Structure 1
Amino acid sequence: MCGIAGLFHTGTIKPVDPARVQRMCDVLAHRGPDGSGVWSAPGVGLGHRRLSIIDLAGSPQPMHSGDGRCTIVFNGEIYNFRELRRELEESGAQFRTDGDTEVILAAWERWGEDCVSHLNGMFAFALYDRRDRTLFLARDRLGVKPLFLAELSDGALAFASELKGLLAHPLLRREVDPLAVEDYMTWGYVPDHRSILRGVTKLPAGHTLLLKHDSPVPRPRRYWDVDFTQRHKGKARDIEAELLHHLKQAVESRMVADVPLGAFLSGGVDSSSVVAFMAEASRKRVSTCSIGFDVASADETSYAEEVARRFNTDHHARTVKADQFEAIDTVAGMFDEPFADASALPTWRVAQLAREHVTVALSGDGADEAFAGYRRQVFHAHEERVRGLIPHAVRHKVLGPLGEAFPKLDWAPRPLRAKTTLQTLAGSGAAGYARALSVVPPELRLGLYSPDLRAGVGEYRAEHVLEALMHRAPARSGLDAAQYADLAFWLPGDILTKVDRTSMAVSLEAREPLLDHRLIEFAATLPEGLRVRRGQGKWVLKKAMERYLPRDILYRPKQGFVTPIADWFRGPLAGKARGIASSAMLARTGWFDNARVAELAEAHIAGRSDHSRLLWQLLMLDRSLARLGIA
């Protein structure tokens, strides 16, 4: 795992100052503390920071092909590199190293742009071809590894693994995009189709970009997408066996490393499944790590300990307490852009714990998106059936007004919280799912915006992007479309961003076996009844894992890796909640109605409403802007 950065000139070819590329890499040192390198030629400069995982001494970067034609900087791991190496050797390729980086160079020289279709892994890389005078940028299928891009005023395209790499370049504009503020206030993160700064973009997951010196920057090219339009026709027992085969293959392929390797273990189905297959494949005790909370309702450590005992792992655990809140400035600095998934704090803590024992850790991320494990997906499937029974006119004219009139009962038992359900049933399935996925609904956030921010946002609504994505999804049902949106939108923007930044902050490589693209493609073909049954998501995954895991792990209510911020903001952090409205940084932006923010904070502290996620969003926005100095 590494950090990459570079510059490429289009139009007029200008010399690239290696020192400038070096500065862009230096701020990414946490991603690669084991080595660094910079290479430049007329019109191009490539930089690299290395975290040594495979071929520890033999694969320095930037790496040149044996014939001197190509140079690459690469962040990630190619899990099938040994199979690819044998195939390429049969066609005449020769190798000087034992790692995966040189395999990408040989794959490019044989297959060109289609080389990415042969790679099974997580990656972001930049490859310069001297013969064709082109720069090829690529990002893995699901977006595990990031790549930020920006066109600069001198005609160069700058790229880096994190936004801080671009910020190290003096020509980068630091102007906030108001549409990104709308996106952030909706989702709690800035999704991959936008950046907090005007002029900065992200190479989308499953896309490549081919740059030429004499041509303007083109649009990225998609090379992979997940297809939910096909249905597996096998028997349930055969499907379970095939699923187990994919799971074992995915886990075992990610256990290749020349450094100590372990796993994150929450005690949920997904991470427990990964640990089960690791224990089965490993001759040594598997090292596992988990994080608990000082609020009992959010603590899952007892389940993690049960799984650890079952598989005799070398288990390590810690507790995150509210008094560790002061570390939030450090967390904000990891993400550069504002990022309000509160589970980033415990994810960072478990990464810290893991790094004390291993250099690589496997996680259980991806199964909820692939197998319909989120409650919102299960509810959406049910709501789609209800929509099919009630005429649109009735839903629009009757349920819509009822939803508007129904009080928001955050304090009430779940069956009595009908407001959101009525509002979602009144509209389309895509609009309902966008509302379920959002953190702050439009009526609340627009009421918080100042006239200036409302003018900057205009008619744009963040939900419309997700709705459009669901409408054009390769899907046969509403559940298909919801899962597609989670894989294409939520996963790279939130989950994978969180894991990448928090693990890389401590120089730990995180690997996600449940995001093996072959497993994802297989999961997309599962009949709906094997994904959701009797109100249970991930049905077939749980059935298949019954031979490995106890029922209290498989079938207990999903808890999730949720930081108890609602309790914290009503207790030890109540003063922090009150202070958000008077923040000097947020006041300087002029984006929000501070009096309204103060009202919401007091309502939350008094227990009348739950505004914890909104308060956390505003707090993280404040801290991010302060660190970046871009308000």
Structure 2
Amino acid sequence: MCGLTGFWQFGGCPGDDARATVQRMADTLIHRGPDDAGVWVDAEVGIALGHRRLAILDLSPAGHQPMVSASGRYVIVFNGEIYNYLELREKLTKVNPTGMVPPWRGHSDTETLLAAFEAWGIEKTLERVVGMFAIALWDRKRRMLTLARDRMGEKPLYYGWVHGTLVFGSELKALRAYPGFDNAIERQALALFMRYDYIPAPWSIYENIWKLPPGCFVQFGEQSLSPGASPAGKGEIKAYWSVREVAEAGFREPLACTEAEAAQELERLLRQAITGQMVADVPLGAFLSGGVDSSTVVALMQAQSARPVQTFTIGFHEGDYNEAEHAKAVARHLGTAHTDLYVTPDDAMAVIPRLPALYDEPFADSSQIPTFLVAGLARRQVTVSLSGDGGDELFGGYTRYFWTRALWKRLGVVPMPLRRALAAALTGPSPAAWNRVFRLLGPLLPRRLRVKLAGDKMHKLAELLALDSLEAVYRYLVSHWKHPAEELVIGCTEPETILSRRDAWPASLAQGQRPFEEVMMFLDQLSYLPDDILVKVDRAAMGVSLETRVPLLDHRVVEFTWRLPYHFKIREGQSKWLLRQVLYRYVPKELIERPKMGFGVPLDQWLRGPLREWAEDLLSEARLKRKAFLNPELVRQKWQEHLLGRRNWAYHLWNVLMWEAWLAA
């Protein structure tokens, strides 16, 4: 795991200046690579590559980057791991185009990548590798720069233009370190952030800076940088692998086997992925929440380890947010060397000032806080940690998959005119008025109808009544601000994303020929997973120089899940059915079966209590008016309603607070 960066300045640049600039850019990524640093410059061409290294494989100088290929043609900076690099080396040694064995200088996967690019070319190599990666590859012969990203988007890669110079890097802070960086805020991306609490690819928070989508590569030649080329575009992005194609192939050729055979094959694929991801020349462990996904990963790790696997869990004293006891029970059963740490609200809140620099771009998934804490706990003992992320998206684990269907089942049978009338009736009284009504009627109502914040729930019900499709219900459930461009972000329109572009979906999903739960899994794999979940884990872990690996996202596992019949994933209201069958071979069912618990923090309480002063400063009317990005009246209204306990606007406000904190950093 490392950090990469660089730039390409048309017409060349003084060598000393280029070295100093790219070194400064790379030094912003020292947290991603504290063990080593390097730069490579061709001043005549104007290309500069920088690298920070976290040594995982081949700790010797033979793994140093930037690295030049054996022939001298290619130069690479690389972040990530290639899990099948030994297999690739064997193939390269046996079938080398020149008839010669590559003169291996060490045993790093970086050197293997370079040899593969020499032998097979760029796209063929990307199709053969198994791993997580972001790559910047300079072809000295063709004067061509290639940027590439792994299939599921585990590793980040930004690129774009600063005054006609092409810049790129693992994090935005490296691009901002380029001299003269003054790219304006991209307000369309800000609207997307306020809706989803993350910025979906290919957008970034800056104009003319983009995220390279997962499974893609983009190339730039000298013509891209020439004065007449209008250097403001994303380039021609090419996909070498895509979830859409994988899903379509799975629908065409579904798996024809028994349940037992499917479970056996899934276990084989998971063992294969985990075996590859347990290779490291440094201490290795795993996050363990006690849920299905992380327990499966840890169980299979322990099954093929001669010594106890080191596992880590963060616990909270608030029962609604605490999974530590469940994790401890699973760890005890599996025999892992388990460490848990119970944190206080003060411990968690101490992380908040670090979030803007840590995430480097507005990011508002509040589980970023416990994720950072558990990464810090693990880093005390290991350098690499496996996680169970991806199981929800692959096997239908999110509660919203069930809520969407259940809500639409009730709403869809009611004619739209009647629903609109009911919605108007519910929004007629203010939330405060509804609260008063329920307080007065409380003694007369059944216990199940004595709800807190009744007015908040009535107005949310009115919003749901206005929805006209399953798709609209899903989008409602994944949105914080429902109409950010119309009511919140000043001077912008909200762009389309994969969630609203049916033409980008597999035909059978777009035409309603498959269960809608599969539509949601598909959309989450393309957006929520890479742009929220994997961003959250990558930045939190790299903030403490910890490498994370995600075996459930091995592309062979992903391809297998899209061939599974729907009822192998969701059955009789239970998610992850097939994954559970694998897990129950190692862990008793009673240790796992319990309601799904989020990895979050009590934001609503904190904003009315210990975070109130901090939030009040960021949400002051004067500040909001001065910055002129957001509608100050609307933000202040929601803040006051939240403080008074009339509505729970915690997640809406957290988006605004993370934006304002990032803007102030």
Q: Distance in 2 between matches of 1:477 and 1:131?
A: 50
The answer as to whether partners of 1:228 and 1:480 remain within 8 angstroms in 2 is no
Deviation by residue 1:109-132 (Cα, 9 ceiling, x = unmatched):
122122111110000011111122
Q: Distance in 2 between matches of 1:247 and 1:500?
A: 21
Partner of 2:439: none
Partner of 1:472: 504
Say whether residues 1:88 and 2:92 are aligned partners: yes
* Structure 1 residue 607: Cα displacement: 3.1
Q: Distance in 2 between matches of 1:524 and 1:420?
A: 34
Say whether residues 1:399 and 2:419 are aligned partners: yes
* Structure 1 residue 270: Cα displacement: 0.8
Going from structure 1 to structure 2, the CA distance change for 1:285 and 1:584 (only over 3 Å counts) comes to: farther
SS of alignment partner, residue 567 of structure 1: helix
User: 1:356-505 alignment to 2 at 5 Å?
Assistant: 356-382=380-406, 390=413, 395-403=415-423, 405-406=425-426, 411=452, 419-420=460-461, 423=464, 426-442=467-483, 446-447=486-487, 449=488, 453-454=489-490, 456-457=491-492, 460-461=493-494, 464-474=496-506, 475=509, 476-505=514-543
Say whether residues 1:46 and 2:78 are aligned partners: no
Partner of 2:247: 228
Q: Distance in 2 between matches of 1:370 and 1:169?
A: 39
Say whether residues 1:112 and 2:107 are aligned partners: no
SS of alignment partner, residue 31 of structure 2: helix
The answer as to whether partners of 1:30 and 1:505 remain within 8 angstroms in 2 is yes
* Structure 1 residue 145: Cα displacement: 0.3
Deviation by residue 1:582-626 (Cα, 9 ceiling, x = unmatched):
176534212334344333233323433211112222221111011
Deviation by residue 1:413-465 (Cα, 9 ceiling, x = unmatched):
99x779459737832333321111112222x7744x3xxx44x21xx335x42
Q: Distance in 1 between matches of 2:423 and 2:464?
A: 5
* Structure 1 residue 14: Cα displacement: 4.8
Partner of 2:649: 611
1:494 alignment partner AA: D
Which one of the candidate residues 273, 276, 288 is aligned to 2:299? 276
The answer as to whether partners of 1:142 and 1:206 remain within 8 angstroms in 2 is yes
Going from structure 1 to structure 2, the CA distance change for 1:223 and 1:421 (only over 3 Å counts) comes to: farther
The answer as to whether partners of 1:578 and 1:598 remain within 8 angstroms in 2 is no
* Structure 1 residue 266: Cα displacement: 1.2
The answer as to whether partners of 1:13 and 1:213 remain within 8 angstroms in 2 is no
1:221 alignment partner AA: K
SS of alignment partner, residue 467 of structure 1: coil
* Structure 1 residue 275: Cα displacement: 0.8
The answer as to whether partners of 2:619 and 2:657 remain within 8 angstroms in 1 is no
The answer as to whether partners of 1:399 and 1:422 remain within 8 angstroms in 2 is no
Partner of 1:305: 328
Say whether residues 1:181 and 2:205 are aligned partners: no
1:592 alignment partner AA: L
Partner of 1:169: 178
Structure 2 unpaired stretches of 5+: 435-450
Q: Bigger CA drift: 568-577 or 118-127?
A: 568-577
2:39 alignment partner AA: V
* Structure 1 residue 381: Cα displacement: 4.3
SS of alignment partner, residue 123 of structure 1: strand
Say whether residues 1:5 and 2:24 are aligned partners: no
Q: Distance in 2 between matches of 1:412 and 1:107?
A: 60
The answer as to whether partners of 1:469 and 1:485 remain within 8 angstroms in 2 is no
1:439 alignment partner AA: H
2:238 alignment partner AA: R
* Structure 1 residue 558: Cα displacement: 0.6
Q: Distance in 1 between matches of 2:554 and 2:649?
A: 36
Partner of 1:23: 24
1:53 alignment partner AA: I
Partner of 2:443: none
Say whether residues 1:127 and 2:128 are aligned partners: no
1:531 alignment partner AA: K
* Structure 1 residue 373: Cα displacement: 0.5
Which one of the candidate residues 243, 257, 266 is aligned to 2:266? 243
The answer as to whether partners of 1:29 and 1:49 remain within 8 angstroms in 2 is yes
Partner of 1:34: 35
Going from structure 1 to structure 2, the CA distance change for 1:626 and 1:385 (only over 3 Å counts) comes to: same
SS of alignment partner, residue 134 of structure 2: strand
Which one of the candidate residues 187, 209, 213 is aligned to 1:204? 213
SS of alignment partner, residue 22 of structure 1: helix
SS of alignment partner, residue 495 of structure 1: helix
SS of alignment partner, residue 85 of structure 1: helix
Partner of 2:640: 602
Partner of 2:442: none
Say whether residues 1:573 and 2:621 are aligned partners: no
SS of alignment partner, residue 351 of structure 2: helix
SS of alignment partner, residue 7 of structure 1: strand
Going from structure 1 to structure 2, the CA distance change for 1:607 and 1:130 (only over 3 Å counts) comes to: same
Going from structure 1 to structure 2, the CA distance change for 1:424 and 1:207 (only over 3 Å counts) comes to: farther
* Aligned sequence identity (%): 40
Rg larger in 1 or in 2? 2
Deviation by residue 1:86-145 (Cα, 9 ceiling, x = unmatched):
001112341221010011111111221221111100000111111222111100001100
* Structure 1 residue 406: Cα displacement: 3.7
The answer as to whether partners of 1:378 and 1:532 remain within 8 angstroms in 2 is no
Q: Bigger CA drift: 517-526 or 546-555?
A: 546-555
Going from structure 1 to structure 2, the CA distance change for 1:71 and 1:435 (only over 3 Å counts) comes to: same
* Structure 1 residue 327: Cα displacement: 2.8
Q: Distance in 2 between matches of 1:120 and 1:404?
A: 54
* Structure 1 residue 192: Cα displacement: 1.6
User: 1:138-149 alignment to 2 at 5 Å?
Assistant: 138-149=148-159
The answer as to whether partners of 2:76 and 2:138 remain within 8 angstroms in 1 is yes
Q: Distance in 2 between matches of 1:161 and 1:486?
A: 23
Deviation by residue 1:349-370 (Cα, 9 ceiling, x = unmatched):
1111111000000011111011
The answer as to whether partners of 1:25 and 1:165 remain within 8 angstroms in 2 is yes
1:193 alignment partner AA: P
Q: Distance in 2 between matches of 1:405 and 1:317?
A: 50
Which one of the candidate residues 64, 73, 77 is aligned to 1:73? 77
* Structure 1 residue 477: Cα displacement: 3.7
The answer as to whether partners of 1:288 and 1:314 remain within 8 angstroms in 2 is yes
Q: Distance in 1 between matches of 2:346 and 2:386?
A: 28
* Structure 1 residue 399: Cα displacement: 3.1
SS of alignment partner, residue 18 of structure 1: helix
Deviation by residue 1:546-600 (Cα, 9 ceiling, x = unmatched):
2222323432111021122122223333444444431765342123343443332
Which one of the candidate residues 589, 592, 606 is aligned to 1:551? 589
Which one of the candidate residues 338, 341, 345 is aligned to 2:369? 345
Normalization by structure 2: what TM-score? 0.87
Partner of 2:279: 256
2:399 alignment partner AA: R
The answer as to whether partners of 2:288 and 2:294 remain within 8 angstroms in 1 is yes
Deviation by residue 1:512-557 (Cα, 9 ceiling, x = unmatched):
1111111111111222222222222212212332222232343211
Deviation by residue 1:191-225 (Cα, 9 ceiling, x = unmatched):
22211111111111110011111335632111111
* Structure 1 residue 149: Cα displacement: 0.6
Going from structure 1 to structure 2, the CA distance change for 1:13 and 1:250 (only over 3 Å counts) comes to: same
